[in-house]
Amino acid sequence: MVAPVAGEVVVTVDSGHAIGLKTDDGVEVLVHVGIDTVNMEGKGFTQHVSKGQRVQAGDLLLEADLPAIEEAGHSTTTAVLVTNSANHKAVTSPATGNTVDAGDTVIVVSK
């Protein structure tokens, strides 16, 4: 999984399945891999960033073993969410429900 935006890593979790970013203009983004994957206790996940690190869009955040996630009985659906959407005029997602590639627009935030 790669960074959808440039900014600072503000949240990492021990289980490795989620990372929070904050852009320079204050948009807070959560990348959450899978459903209930916290129950995997880090198995199948390798984080490549740490809290406080700056990243550019496209930088590697984490690796996820998708077959291992499925074998553990979890969905591999990955959510990219704006966690402070109430602070913005509008947050839309042209990619809802779609498979996306690195570099695709997944969220549009209007100030």
Report CA dihedral (27, 25, 106, 52) to the nearest 10 degrees.
-70
Active site residue 48: no
∠ CA 87-82-4, rounded to 5°: 130
Catalytic member of 17, 32, 48, 88: 32
- Whether residue 34 contacts residue 70, with contact meaning beta carbons closer than 8 Å, is answered with no
Rounded CA Rg of the chain: 14
Q: How many helices (H) and strands (E) does the chain have?
A: 1, 9
Which residues does the annotation mark as catalytic?
A: 32
